[in-house]
Structure 1
Amino acid sequence: MADLINLFIDDVAVSVPKGTLIVDAAKRADIDIPVFCYHPKLKPVGMCRMCLVQVGRVKLDRGTGQPVLDANGSPEIAYGPKLETSCTTPVEPGMRVITNTDLVKRAQKDVLEFLLTSHPLDCPICDKGGECPLQNLTLTYGPGVTRFDYADKQHLDKHYPLGELIFLDKERCIQCARCIRFQDEIADDHVLGFYERGRKMQIETMSTPGFDSKFSGNTTDICPVGALTTRDFRFRARPWEITNVPSICPHCPVGCNISLGTRRSAKGGGEWEILRVMPRQNEAVNEIWICDKGRFGHHYARSQARLQKPLIKKEGRLVEATWEEAFSLIADRFRAANGKAAGWLGDRVSNEDAWLFGKLFREGFNSAQLVNRPHVAGLDLVARYGVGVGTNLGNLGQGDVVFIVAGDVEETAPVHMLRLKAAVERGAKLIVANARETKMDRYAAISIQYQPGMDTQTVYSLLASVSNQQSAISSQVAKFAPSDNKIKAAGQLIAEAQNLIVMLGDERPYPVMVQGQYTDAGRALAQACANLVVATGHIGKANNGLLPLWPHNNTQGVYDMLSAQGAEALSGEVKALYLVGTDPIGEGQNLPPTDFVVVQELFLTPTAQQADVVLPALAWAERDGTFTNAERRVQRYYKALPPTGQAKADWEIFRLIAEKFGLKWSFFSAEGVMHEIAAQVAAYAGLDYVCLAETKEEWPPVGTSSDLYFGGTAYDNRGGVGAQTKSLFEINGRSELKWIEPPPPSGQSIEPRRLNRPGTLIDQSAIYEVRLRAAELVKIEA
């Protein structure tokens, strides 16, 4: 490796890249230097002085600038007169660092004594007890007694609400500023700050409402003491009482790795429940961050409103029934439909569920009418031209360009926003095109605000400015040659890009009538984005291609499973309709005319209330499965809770119904279903639950040290880092440019995406209700 620096730490030879801080170099040599303010994801500030070490540098001749050699021909080492902070001092060639001299030990003890002068003895009741860096480091490095007079202790607020979700114990705070720095440097939400000075210094919220950030919960993870706690976990359990189960966030297309902290509840009669959700480190996906929706939006899994038993409509009312009654009725009515059956499948279910749903329709119901809801344009194009295997937003930097069109990354895929901001700081260029301003405009090299409904035309103007080569669509693209200097400049960035990712959103008008026919503006935009990456050659390799801002967690996976089985759109008469994990009536839409409706859900939604049969399904935390995120990374999640009532996993329900049609499927676990998927879906070839559970060493090793070296409660990845599937272009090398005429601006309204918006699941998470905001309608001018 180029630019390696060789040095010694406690007489251990270490080689690390140039620019590495001493504290990180020591960690690579498995030498722990205690820290409080330092965190490898934040900029070093040297505030707490806990990481003081003795540093010796090679002595240089003032005249020649060459090392001064001793009698043995070795460079002489000159130690500085004072200790130095290892969290702010980069390594140098030949440097010698000593972390355990008497002077260093005295400094560490003194720093801890200062920190503990007014720190309360709350360990027996503190939420951080058992995983607290201050507690651990005090036992290892601190004094056994204090010289400070108890009467002089500072007494401050102990249950101070910074916001609706985060509480601050001001007495426990050690002023490391990690929370402030996270909000300033990572989240770019400047909502926390210091108030007062000296011993009276306190953390205060600077926003209205308090602590107004989509990432506030991360501050509780990186807080090295119990000063910051979450509203739903504080005083609920001790860390050693919790069983942590690896999982995947069930909300957005990022696919953040999480750990579900579970325990039996005394108040709940001994039932298992999720007490907290913590990030699980995966540097290729979410690093160590999650948004507040992923952290607090899990309570629906144990909602009292969950469906417990099957329901059948009798005399106009839904009444409880047995599974056998429900299955027999479904079999009779779908058999009578004689192939005129249709299925609507939501995009939150697992890959295994989606596969068996399609298989049930194909082999049992003799129908291929399957709809992936909600309707999303461009799924097939992402499957073909999506970002290549090895894509990692954390690796983007100089020479890389990301183009975001018709999407709000912060609202749709929040953690992507954090990673793109960091990529820009490393030198990547960001181009943002939207009909409205978004937070991503802060980091954009070029921001293009187009007339609402002109998104596709904007993409083609970019393509016209980039490519002069003749192609199948050259003449059509030429009509959109840009006159706007911003678009020309953006085209120049794309033309010079070594790597290009196009992030495709869906903030656009709904399908509208044009010349007597409905035109899907989303399809036209998706095709334009596909043409852009194909025409410029940015497909089939890492950090190149389409990266969609899908509405939910498994939009891509559900499409993959249904399309592989020849799913078709609804057409003709529908005598029996089967809906799973979707609520079109609740979304203001109508069901197609039909004689019989089955709904498989967690709750009695407006659609379920109109059904003839309602089947209770398991929540994601109650079963095993996989999701495929927007980068087409297949990730495994694990059962963390026992079933609610008589509910069953979706895939199991499909298998039991199939038995009524004489089908003998040998699936007795989700893992078995994945074996068939791997055998029949080209992009998923070679995947199984074993390879999806494989882990790898992560750097920085946050949360893996026995002493919680980096002072956080993010967990190392023990559930697997997943596997990214190949795009169809990577499999067969086929690409084409296809023209879809951009529809004119419609004059209709679009609905900007909102992370915190009401919905079937999030409405059941009462703790998060305070963050819900109604979606704002923006009127488009024709």
Structure 2
Amino acid sequence: MPKDITLTIDGQTVTAPAGTLVVDAAKRIGINIPVFCYHPKLEPVGMCRMCLVEIGRPVIDRTTNNPVFEADGKPKIQFGPKLETACTTPISEGMVVVGLSDKVKAARKDVLEFLLTSHPLDCPICDKGGECPLQNQTLEYGSADSRFLLDEKMRLSKHVPLGDLIFLDRERCIQCARCVRFQTEIVDDPVIGFYNRGRKLEIITDSQPGFDSIFSGNTTDICPVGALTTADFRFGARPWEMNNAASLCTHCPVGCNTTINVRREAKTGGNVSIKRIMPRQNETVNEIWMCDKGRFAYHFADSPDRLKNPLIRKGSELFQTTWTEALSAASEKIKQAGSGLVTLASGRLTNEDIYNLRKLTETQGGTFIGYSRMAGGEIVNRFGMLPGSNLGDLGKDSVIVVVSSDLHEEAPIWWLRVREAVKRGAVLISISIRPTRLDKIAAKTLRVEPGREALAVDAILTGDMADIVKQAKHLLVFYGSDGLGRKATGQLAAACARLLETSGHARRINSGLIPVWERGNTQGLWDMGAHPADQIVERIASARVLLVAGADPANDDPMMERALEKTEFLIVQDLFATATARKADIVFPVLAFTEREGTYTSGERRVQRFYPAVPAPEGLKADYEIAAEMGAELGLALESSAASLVFQQLAAEIPQYSGLTYPLLAKTSDQWPIVGRPDVYFGGTSYANRQGLGIHLPLLPLEDFEIPSGDLDMSLHPDAHELAVYPVTRLLDRGITVTTSPLLASRLAQADLFIHPATARKMFLNADMQVMLPVDGAAYPVRIVLDETVPEGAALIPRSAGVPIHEPQVAQVAPPVGDHASRVRS
């Protein structure tokens, strides 16, 4: 721990750790030293000079090396002849900082005057108006007059697309380099930079496609002026016009804290609409960042294609009906089905939804199945991270293992936080079937044959990294499903648990197992008792009543689609008329997460609360309400009036949730850096967290639990004329919650089959060739893409890209028959 240093800033005594910069020390006691280029998450550069202050230091007698004292006994302070930048100067013992002198005030006026010589005076129409540091600081520190001529201002391009998501107004840029530094230092995507010099300096993108980074939206948050804007918010609203609601990103297991900005819109008939999604500070989860999927893939919530009324089948068609008729009919069928009821629930649902659905199912003697492509949740609940753990604490005494996961694509903020841990000295071991962006920062990269990942994990303690792993204070293991099926992920989770146990790191602070689940609340599925099941196709086909909530098996797998044809009666709860909903006998329209409250449990096993952002549309209900109202028809007492009451019930029943309440989940504590204050220039426009940091769950006991064992070699062995096809994950898939965002259309995963050039030559395949890929009795058109990083004899295909491959399989590709351009049934 660095020693504490005491100094004085504007007459106030401050104590802070050694190494703290003057600007940060001042911020800790509420003194705002103005900045533009400085950001507490970035390396200081001292470019803008807005933070100039007077700094005095104790005079030291060179003969005795002791301080020199004045006649009154106080240390003698000597000020330098020039002002110094508070953002690059570390504090020192006895330092005296003056930020309110006439000299400092004059310097601040000069800096602002120079910035405004070429800055457009378009505050009335600028997107940053109302949350603009330049505007605020000009009013507070600037001069009312200028010595420069208005007609000498630079005239530069406006509305310049850096990419399809971010626009640049070059006139507004003050050349602070925050955006460039963020892309280089924080996320290692140096795809934007400076071009030209002097007054002609401008930001450009040098990537193709433009501004090709999945974190690009963060640059608009930290831009201190209106130079960078997002495509969906540009000229969209003013900050003071919008209301804010605390929420969570539901797209991946990280559980990023967000703020949803809303306002009433004339174009929607006066209804409240979402204007933008912004990061909300949670230093133990997402800090103040978020990825572009979480920022832009929210349009599904206000899509005009949303279901608006219950539907009931009459003959071959679905017709609108009343809630009373739909609930009564569904409940009667569930009652008749008894133990023949099968419920499929996905991690898109909240804990409250899943709990009520399970209670409804189990009281009928039915089967409750968690719809997930990954296994191992029962292992995670015993070998996961302990309460008090924080990825931000990992450093030189830590080892991180990432196996079968491309974190950059599957959980971008975890990738970012692992990268930061490596920068602090953590040792990274990456185990995968193909190169990922983790390889660049890994101390050890193990490239394994697909299906043998669990064997590689078991071998870590007999390899050249064994001593480093055993001697580390912390060992954190991420496991995913890259190239794996559900059974293989279960074996992989078990191997990771053995590694933690054998190395002595199990159940230690800042150690443990983190699953890279495919959905935001898959951990909640396991906790609520919804586990994936074997023979799921057979269970669907044999169900007297199948209840599907938040899932679309008909679209995901041809075998499940055919099994649905054999189900006696199908009930669906969903946002859209999905392929499964179109086959249903009863369809219930549900609320989106933006229209309700609830809780999710992240992959780190942190329970977090979110709040409604827009009023619930008339005629829609939350999933937990629908389950409770069907239960009421059957005499089952389930809460339907409020999510908080459902949470009380589940907390009383599920051991690791014991004692949790909504008020506890809403608690916050002080965080650093300080963001969200009215000054807005220190941490950007990220929102302070005043609605809850979440609570880390305790681990379940190990008594009577044995780590599962089984066949660790899950590799495929195709014949010479066949390919072993392995599914991999892309961040921007073709799920319904992403395809409804028009901004992301050009970035969505395509139906491409990636193979090694040597494999292509053996099978007489060429780049860009269109072939048919058979999957479970159906054939799908795919495009051949040659990629030297793919293992020979194998092929990789993105999940949710139009071809329903979720398990590794052997396939024989064939040229398309005739002019087929869509799926062909065999």
TM-score range, shorter chain: over 0.9
1:38–1:44: 8 Å Cα contact kept in structure 2?
Answer: yes
Q: Displacement, 1:332?
A: 2.1
1:742 and 2:718 are equivalent in the alignment: no
2:370–2:533: 8 Å Cα contact kept in structure 1?
Answer: no
Determine what percentage of the aligned residue pairs are the same residue. Answer: 49
Q: Displacement, 1:491?
A: 2.1
SS at match of 1:226: coil
- Distance change >3 Å, CA 510–CA 665, structure 1 → 2: closer
1:90 and 2:90 are equivalent in the alignment: yes
Per the alignment, residue 578 of structure 1 pairs with: 547
Work out which of the residue numbers 500, 504, 508 in structure 2 matches 1:537. 504
Q: Displacement, 1:351?
A: 0.2
Q: Displacement, 1:666?
A: 4.3
| 1:285-364 correspondence to structure 2 within 5 Å | 285-363=285-363
1:674 and 2:647 are equivalent in the alignment: yes
Per the alignment, residue 384 of structure 2 pairs with: 386
Unaligned runs of 5+ in 1: 466-487, 512-519
Q: Displacement, 1:337?
A: 1.6
Per the alignment, residue 217 of structure 1 pairs with: 217
Per the alignment, residue 457 of structure 1 pairs with: 455
Per the alignment, residue 699 of structure 1 pairs with: 672
Deviations 1:495-521 (A, max 9, x none): 11101011011113336xxxxxxxx22
2:644, 2:356 → 1: CA distance? 12
Per the alignment, residue 724 of structure 1 pairs with: 696
Per the alignment, residue 802 of structure 2 pairs with: none
Work out which of the residue numbers 630, 651, 654 in structure 2 matches 1:657. 630
Per the alignment, residue 131 of structure 2 pairs with: 131
Per the alignment, residue 377 of structure 1 pairs with: 375
1:490 and 2:462 are equivalent in the alignment: no
Per the alignment, residue 553 of structure 1 pairs with: 520
Q: Displacement, 1:777?
A: 4.4
Work out which of the residue numbers 655, 668, 684 in structure 2 matches 1:712. 684
Per the alignment, residue 365 of structure 2 pairs with: 366
SS at match of 1:204: strand
Unaligned runs of 5+ in 2: 718-723, 756-790, 795-826
Q: TM-score of the superposition, structure 1-length normalised?
A: 0.93
Per the alignment, residue 611 of structure 1 pairs with: 584
Number of equivalent positions: 745
Code of the aligned partner of 2:692: G
2:491–2:708: 8 Å Cα contact kept in structure 1?
Answer: no
1:683, 1:10 → 2: CA distance? 49
Per the alignment, residue 164 of structure 2 pairs with: 164
SS at match of 1:615: strand
- Distance change >3 Å, CA 172–CA 272, structure 1 → 2: same
SS at match of 1:73: coil
Code of the aligned partner of 1:669: A
1:131, 1:663 → 2: CA distance? 51
| 1:171-186 correspondence to structure 2 within 5 Å | 171-186=171-186
- Distance change >3 Å, CA 749–CA 599, structure 1 → 2: same
SS at match of 2:61: coil
SS at match of 1:761: helix
Code of the aligned partner of 2:443: A
Per the alignment, residue 398 of structure 1 pairs with: 396
Q: Displacement, 1:118?
A: 1.2
Work out which of the residue numbers 687, 709, 724 in structure 1 matches 2:660. 687
Per the alignment, residue 187 of structure 1 pairs with: 187
SS at match of 2:258: strand
SS at match of 1:746: coil
1:32–1:709: 8 Å Cα contact kept in structure 2?
Answer: no
Which 10-residue stretch deviates more, 32-41 or 768-777?
A: 768-777
Deviations 1:128-177 (A, max 9, x none): 11111111100000011211111111000111111101111100000000
2:646, 2:714 → 1: CA distance? 45
Q: Displacement, 1:448?
A: 1.1
2:570, 2:393 → 1: CA distance? 48
1:757–1:775: 8 Å Cα contact kept in structure 2?
Answer: no
2:32, 2:485 → 1: CA distance? 56
Per the alignment, residue 433 of structure 2 pairs with: 435
2:373–2:518: 8 Å Cα contact kept in structure 1?
Answer: no
- Distance change >3 Å, CA 744–CA 652, structure 1 → 2: closer
Per the alignment, residue 423 of structure 2 pairs with: 425
1:138, 1:696 → 2: CA distance? 32
2:74, 2:47 → 1: CA distance? 36
1:527–1:739: 8 Å Cα contact kept in structure 2?
Answer: yes
1:402–1:430: 8 Å Cα contact kept in structure 2?
Answer: yes
Per the alignment, residue 472 of structure 1 pairs with: none
1:169–1:227: 8 Å Cα contact kept in structure 2?
Answer: yes
Deviations 1:282-309 (A, max 9, x none): 0010000000000001010000000000
1:752–1:777: 8 Å Cα contact kept in structure 2?
Answer: no
Q: Displacement, 1:127?
A: 1.1
2:753, 2:731 → 1: CA distance? 15
Per the alignment, residue 6 of structure 1 pairs with: 6
- Distance change >3 Å, CA 375–CA 775, structure 1 → 2: same
2:379–2:707: 8 Å Cα contact kept in structure 1?
Answer: no
Root-mean-square deviation over aligned CA pairs:
1.7
Q: TM-score of the superposition, structure 2-length normalised?
A: 0.88
- Distance change >3 Å, CA 153–CA 394, structure 1 → 2: same
- Distance change >3 Å, CA 173–CA 734, structure 1 → 2: farther
Q: Displacement, 1:693?
A: 0.6
Q: Displacement, 1:71?
A: 2.5
SS at match of 2:546: strand
Work out which of the residue numbers 743, 746, 765 in structure 1 matches 2:741. 765
Deviations 1:678-708 (A, max 9, x none): 100000011111000111111110122x222
SS at match of 2:259: strand
Q: Displacement, 1:2?
A: 5.4
Code of the aligned partner of 1:400: S
1:389–1:542: 8 Å Cα contact kept in structure 2?
Answer: yes
Q: Displacement, 1:577?
A: 0.4
Code of the aligned partner of 2:68: V
2:439, 2:324 → 1: CA distance? 56
1:568, 1:679 → 2: CA distance? 30
2:630, 2:373 → 1: CA distance? 26
Deviations 1:202-236 (A, max 9, x none): 00011011100000000000000011111001111
1:755 and 2:724 are equivalent in the alignment: no
Code of the aligned partner of 1:696: S
Q: Displacement, 1:711?
A: 5.2
- Distance change >3 Å, CA 662–CA 568, structure 1 → 2: farther
Q: Displacement, 1:522?
A: 1.9
Q: Displacement, 1:738?
A: 4.1
- Distance change >3 Å, CA 141–CA 580, structure 1 → 2: same
Per the alignment, residue 516 of structure 1 pairs with: none
2:280–2:687: 8 Å Cα contact kept in structure 1?
Answer: yes
Q: Displacement, 1:735?
A: 5.4
